[in-house]
Amino acid sequence: MTEVRAPAATGRTEPAGEGQPPATGPVPRRRGPATRGPFGMLDWARWGWRQLTSMRTALVLLFLLALGSVPGSVLPQQGINPQAVQQYYAAHPALAPWLARFSLFNVFGAPWFAAVYLLLFLSLAGCVVPRTFRLAGSARQQPPRAPANVSRLPLATAMASPLAPDAALARASALLAGKRFRVRTGDGWVSAEKGYLREAGNLLFHLALLALLAAVGMGGLFGYKADRLLVAGQGFANTVTALDQFRPGRLVSAADLQPFSIALSRFSARYVTSGPELGQPASFNAYLSYQAQPGAATQHYDLQVNHPLNVDNVKVYLIGHGYAPVFRVTDGTGRVVFNGPVPFIPVSLNGLTSEGVVKVPDARPQQLGFAGVFLPTAVDAGGKLQSAFPAPYRPAVSLVSYAGNLGMNSGVPQSVYQLDTAGLHRLAVAARPLAPGQSVKLPGGTGTITFTGYRQWISLAITYDPGQLPALIAAIAALAGLLVSFLVRRRRVFVRAAARAGGGAAVEFGGLARTESSETFGAEFADLSAELSAALAVPEERGLHDAVPPGTTPSETAPAARTVPPASSDLPSTSDKRE
Amino acid sequence: MRPRARRAARAAALALAGAAGASLALGACDSGAIGNSGPGSNGQSFVSGSPGTTTYGPTSGPAAPRVTGTLLSGSKFTLAQYRGHVVVLNFWGSWCTPCRAEAPFLSQLARNFTPRGVRFLGVDIRDSPATAEAFQRDFHIVYPSLNDPGDEIALDFRDTVPPAGIPTTLVIDRNGRIGARVIGQVSYPGLRGLISHALAQPA
Amino acid sequence: MPVNVGLAQLSDHFLLATVFFYALAVLAYAGDFAFGRRAAPRAGKDATGAAPATERARVAVAAGVAAQAAAAPPDNAPPAGQAGTAGAAVAPFAVATGGGGPVLAAPSRWRAGGAPAGPWIRAALGLTVIGLATQILGIVTRGLAEHRVPWGNMYEFVMAITCAAVIAFLGLSFRFRVYAVGLFFMAPIVLALGLCATVLYTAAGPLVPALHSYWIWIHVTAMTVAIGSYIVAATFTVLYLVADRHARRQATSPGAGFGAVLDRLPAPDALDRLSYRTVIFAFPIWTFAVIAGAIWADQAWGRYWGWDPKETWAFITWVVYAGYLHARATAGWRGRRAAYIQLVGFASLLFNLVGVNLWITGLHSYAGIN
């Protein structure tokens, strides 16, 4: 099956059995009703497997995968931006539930998406693994016999040599072996092949994709992601009770968390103070102290964006930052019922205006709640208070005060950044922004709130992904396999020598590139034939070192080198399966 | 390729792809045994955990770890001081709404069971002392609570029965073994039953 | 460090010069179409006489006919005397000298018309090279002005991509002498740069902290090279489709359609193979760029893949180009179908470049445009 095909055949498109090998050899007959009785379950399974592992199915699945990813990028996704999902629901109340039914707000976790990539990888494995076995088996496979008529090859040339045919062939085979061809000799011919690495590279690429899939899965099973917002001066340990969000893999339990602790000593943000980029962040530095285990030595780290902290194989990233104004609330009885920083969330990128909520559920006689806006650099812009710059040059807080029932005692979860005003009534307080140190006395003897100062907070993303390194290795292996399969060309050359009237041998030298590479192979063939003719030009007595350089003797004519492009492409075609 | 080798190769391919794909499919869903607090799903900014009660037999429960800390009042405390008593350990925070809902139950159970030798201890998470004391006044919590800003006490339990959310309540028997863990808001009869059960254990 | 305003202005001037020279180059290419000498004489027994035969053969081969036609003229060369004891084989690619010896074969397959570049083409190429020089100078001065690598927003990115595309195109056209393609390639480049200078323009400034990483050299540079190459490949594919349809029309009703323009294009098969080779070059680079991006994302955002819209569309583009490569290896899908697949991939690439930056907000929104 590996014989050189006649050039004409390669230009023809293959018969309509797509994904099937060209009918240039005996095709094993498939079992079916005509040959072996009723078409049973096993036959259906076999037919299904064959369909699944065909190239056409792979193409269709690839496109489905690409097409299925499109809604995942256009529609808001639950796992990335849940607020946007809720906004979408609000904006499209009729459409949104239908989209949710098809998991379009969670495309990459949807069952149909999983079905596509599982089928694709099944198809991939079904194609690649048998070929790996075949490659291993053919690692010592010999090149095919030389064709009877070497001069009919796409690239062919002829030369004459003073040597006897056998000697000429021996010298040719030595030359080719020296160039790391795999050589096979026969009666009156030498056949050589090079470029077996190509198939190995191709298989490495596809197997590495499988390994990548497995690594991603492993990370999803055994890894976890968590978030934590940390105010300067505070610390936390990596336990479930301390985390704001915890997204564990399926096989992760609370006891599996690495027991490190981190404290934030200070956070400093620098901003651009002049030019067109005024107010843009220039750098962020979070000065952390941490311990890998309880009782271990305390270490220090300057956490920045793009410079995560790696503690005990867990990575801690700086994701965001903001301001946490500090409040002290005295209730109607005169006791201090709240004293601490409250993280406010930035709502505008210019000037870092932030909003937040202070809930004082244990104030007596009435529970108190405050909705506030924090302005790092408060300026009066046409009657409206705005923040002109994100650094705290002139911090101010503006509060709206409420009293009543916060709704926290019923056990129903509430957002810590929102106030449920259903059970609250607004207090009549003059809307005056507070500078640090100033307080507001609430009417009706309900209490006092003092804005004592501010601190900064950072938000951390904590990720543990044991599959990350294997995924990287698999990706690099895939890239390496890809490069090898693209760069290495499989090519064959053949030499035939026959005794010539008048002494010596008439040598035919032909070559065939099995992939679309006539450019480079053409040049390589030219070099090879020049070297071969030089090697063969030297009679035996003189030895190779006194070889006459080519071109100094009258040339022999040769049939034209033809340049029929083989129709097979750079990727191993399906016809390879039949080798 | 010979038929048998081809079949073997095919089977290997199937197994390989199946394993890879299954691991990915399983891993893709990220709700684990702990329970899923989806990002921003309720903005409550803490992990509530999947509610449930786990009980251990009298000899199979892990031994409670050494716990030392500072009470809200400022004095030092160690769990060893309660050796020989049944201890109810409750992780709470004044900002946590299920904790506020169960606080009356804990207060009542403390009043009922303290004369019978049960000791209640709270572990307060992410509260300033002023806020925590206001909470205790509000709900008439008379038992002490440790202030745990650095989560050290939760860390102490990591090798045994870690608190897997807020609130979490542990019942420790007289021999210092953890007899039960309740994740989520306790119910009055539920916790009462666990305490009675622990009390009934021989020392 | 503050931006060096003088250098930034110099960079803007260089951009305008680039647009100017490229526009002139487009005119010169068009002039070649209108006024330049037609393709090499088909009949002729001079030195290049063999080449047109291989051109005919190339077209014929595309239709599946065996290449005996190509063999015909060279075979006519009578065998020179077989005398000579120490015969040396002649390399099969020696230039034909009338009356003996083998023929120049493989490289000429790719040559557009066989003729050397006429004056219009030479002018166009010269203008393109000058424009490329000013473009490179513009990019370099911008980088010097900002004290950072000069691709941090959409304006700079488009500048860099078009530069990479022009370099790729010049390389290919010098190697394979497909000059006629120049018109169809440079015109969109001029349009893109025009957009760059007007709509996309952003003043020089520092990078946002998230981009302060050495990975910007690796990931964004690789993306730039890959996208530039994909642009070249897409140009060749579009021309292939046009030329292929024209060739079929010619086969049925000669002389119809835009014959004068389309006859000057290289043969469809050559265009298809050029496009394929360019994708072969670009695909591993794109793969590498995605991997580098994932490593950088892990450092910056805490996860190496999060289905951010930009990541998703990069994935889609990768999958579609992988589909193109597979289609090229599948019977029944080569030729036009594979070309369409490649164009779908290119469309998703354009959406990734433009649409995701401008219309979808995600972690990758560094467009710098409001």
Check residue C246 and give its pLDDT. 84
- Provide the pLDDT confidence category of residue A23 given band limits of 50, 70 and 90: very low
- Cβ contact (<8 Å) for C66 and A8? yes
Check residue B139 and give its pLDDT. 94
Q: Is the pLDDT of residue B190 over 60?
A: yes
- Provide the pLDDT confidence category of residue B18 given band limits of 50, 70 and 90: low
The DSSP letter of residue C255 is T
Q: Are C186 and C22 in contact (CB under 8 A)?
A: yes
| Interface subset of C 267-326, CB within 8 angstroms of A | 269, 273, 276, 280, 283-284, 287-288, 291, 294-296, 298-309, 312-313, 315-316, 319-320, 322-323, 325-326
pLDDT digits (tens, 9 = 90+) for B136-171: 999 999 999 999 988 889 899 888 888 888 899 999
Q: Does C85 touch chain A (CB under 8 A)?
A: yes
* pLDDT-wise least confident of A514-518, A552-556, B195-199, C160-164: A552-556
Q: Is the pLDDT of residue A555 over 60?
A: no
Q: Across the interface, which of C87, C291, C329 has its CB nearest the CB of A55?
A: C329
Q: Across the interface, which of B20, B37, B102 has its CB nearest the CB of A245?
A: B37
- Provide the pLDDT confidence category of residue C258 given band limits of 50, 70 and 90: low
Check residue A540 and give its pLDDT. 66
Residue ranges per structural domain of chain B: 1-31, 52-200
Check residue C164 and give its pLDDT. 94
Q: What is the Cβ-side half-sphere exposure of residue B45, based on CA atoms within 13 angstroms?
A: 17
**Phi, psi at residue A136, to the nearest 5°?**
-60, -40
Check residue A154 and give its pLDDT. 82
- Cβ contact (<8 Å) for C284 and A479? yes
Check residue B15 and give its pLDDT. 60
Q: Is the pLDDT of residue C124 over 80?
A: yes
Give the residue-averaged pLDDT of A489-518: 80
- Provide the pLDDT confidence category of residue B25 given band limits of 50, 70 and 90: low
CA distance A53 to A120: 9
CA distance C242 to C244: 5
Chains C and B touch (3+ CB pairs under 8 A): no
- Cβ contact (<8 Å) for A162 and C85? yes
Residues with Cβ within 8 Å of residue C322, at least 6 apart in sequence? A62, C283
Mean pLDDT, chain C, whole residue set: 75
Check residue C155 and give its pLDDT. 87
Size of interface A-B (CB pairs under 8 A): 266
**pTM to 2 decimals?**
0.73
Q: Across the interface, which of A130, A210, A244 has its CB nearest the CB of B20?
A: A210
Check residue A446 and give its pLDDT. 87
Check residue C103 and give its pLDDT. 27
The DSSP letter of residue A234 is -
Nearest CA in chain A to B183: A241
Q: Across the interface, which of A59, A532, A533 has its CB nearest the CB of C333?
A: A59
Q: Is the pLDDT of residue C211 over 80?
A: no
Mean pLDDT, chain A, whole residue set: 82
Q: Is the pLDDT of residue C67 over 70?
A: no
**Phi, psi at residue B166, to the nearest 5°?**
-120, 130
Q: Which CATH number fits domain B52-200: 3.40.630.10, 3.40.30.10, 3.20.20.140, 3.40.50.1100?
A: 3.40.30.10
Give the residue-averaged pLDDT of C152-176: 89
pLDDT digits (tens, 9 = 90+) for B168-180: 999 999 988 999 9
- Provide the pLDDT confidence category of residue A187 given band limits of 50, 70 and 90: confident
Chain A neighbours (≥3 Cβ pairs under 8 A) are B, C
The fraction of chain A above a pLDDT of 70, given in percent, is: 85
Check residue C76 and give its pLDDT. 35
Nearest CA in chain C to A501: C82
| Interface subset of A 514-573, CB within 8 angstroms of C | 516, 518-519, 522-523, 525-526, 529-530, 532-534, 537, 539, 548, 550-565, 567-573
Check residue A569 and give its pLDDT. 41
- Cβ contact (<8 Å) for A7 and C67? yes
Check residue A579 and give its pLDDT. 33
Residue A335 CA, chain-centre distance (Å), reads 57
**Phi, psi at residue C27, to the nearest 5°?**
-60, -40
Give the residue-averaged pLDDT of A49-56: 82
ipTM of predicted complex: 0.80
Cβ-count burial A36-48 (b if 16+ within 10 Å, e if not) = eeeeeeebeeeee
| A114 contact residues in B (CB cutoff 8 A) | 24-25, 28
Q: Is the pLDDT of residue A191 over 60?
A: yes
Give the residue-averaged pLDDT of C140-162: 88
Interface test with A, best of B30, B107, B135 (most A CBs within 10 A): B30
Q: Does A217 touch chain C (CB under 8 A)?
A: no
Nearest-Cα distance to chain A for B197, in Å, is: 26
Check residue B92 and give its pLDDT. 94
Q: Is the pLDDT of residue B97 over 70?
A: yes
The DSSP letter of residue A312 is T
SS3 string, C48-94, reads HHHHHHHHHHHHHHHCCCCCHHHHHHHHHCCCCCCCCCCCECCCCCC
Pick from A56, A52, A61: nearest CA to A123: A52
Q: Is the pLDDT of residue A145 over 80?
A: yes
Interface test with A, best of B6, B24, B96, B139 (most A CBs within 10 A): B24
Q: Does A11 touch chain C (CB under 8 A)?
A: yes
Q: Is the pLDDT of residue C12 over 50?
A: yes
Q: Are A434 and A440 in contact (CB under 8 A)?
A: yes
Rg (CA), chain C: 24
CA distance C269 to C94: 24
pLDDT digits (tens, 9 = 90+) for A91-135: 888 888 888 888 888 888 888 888 888 888 888 888 888 888 888
* pLDDT-wise least confident of A506-515, B3-12, B99-108: B3-12
Who wins on pLDDT, A416 or C313? Answer: C313
Who wins on pLDDT, C336 or C2? Answer: C336
Pick from B36, C102, C332: nearest CA to A560: C102
Who wins on pLDDT, A70 or C359? Answer: A70
- Provide the pLDDT confidence category of residue C369 given band limits of 50, 70 and 90: very low
B162: preceding bond cis by omega (within 30 degrees): no
Check residue C81 and give its pLDDT. 34
Helix, strand or coil, per DSSP, at residue A285:
strand
Q: Is A192 exposed, middle or buried (0-12, 13-18, 19+ CB in 10 A)?
A: buried
Q: Are A203 and B113 in contact (CB under 8 A)?
A: no
Q: Are B100 and B46 in contact (CB under 8 A)?
A: no
* pLDDT-wise least confident of A454-458, A545-549, C140-144, C246-250: A545-549
Q: Is the pLDDT of residue A550 over 80?
A: no
Residues with Cβ within 8 Å of residue A68, at least 6 apart in sequence? A107, A112, A113, A116
- Provide the pLDDT confidence category of residue A155 given band limits of 50, 70 and 90: confident
pLDDT digits (tens, 9 = 90+) for C172-208: 888 887 777 888 899 999 999 998 888 888 877 777 7
B167: preceding bond cis by omega (within 30 degrees): yes
Strand locations in A91-181 (E): 155-161
Check residue A354 and give its pLDDT. 93
Check residue C365 and give its pLDDT. 56
Give the residue-averaged pLDDT of A279-290: 90
Helix, strand or coil, per DSSP, at residue C234:
helix
Beta pairing class for B86-92 and B118-124:
parallel
- Provide the pLDDT confidence category of residue B182 given band limits of 50, 70 and 90: very high
Q: Is C214 exposed, middle or buried (0-12, 13-18, 19+ CB in 10 A)?
A: exposed
Check residue A323 and give its pLDDT. 95
Residue ranges per structural domain of chain C: 1-39+112-207, 209-370
Cβ-count burial A210-240 (b if 16+ within 10 Å, e if not) = bbbbbbbbbbbbbbbbbbbbbbbebbbbbbb
**Phi, psi at residue A3, to the nearest 5°?**
-60, 155
Check residue C61 and give its pLDDT. 33
Give the residue-averaged pLDDT of A363-378: 92
Check residue B21 and give its pLDDT. 61
| B151 contact residues in A (CB cutoff 8 A) | 236-237, 239, 241-242, 261
- Provide the pLDDT confidence category of residue C43 given band limits of 50, 70 and 90: very low
Pick from A195, A246, A256, A203: nearest CA to A225: A246
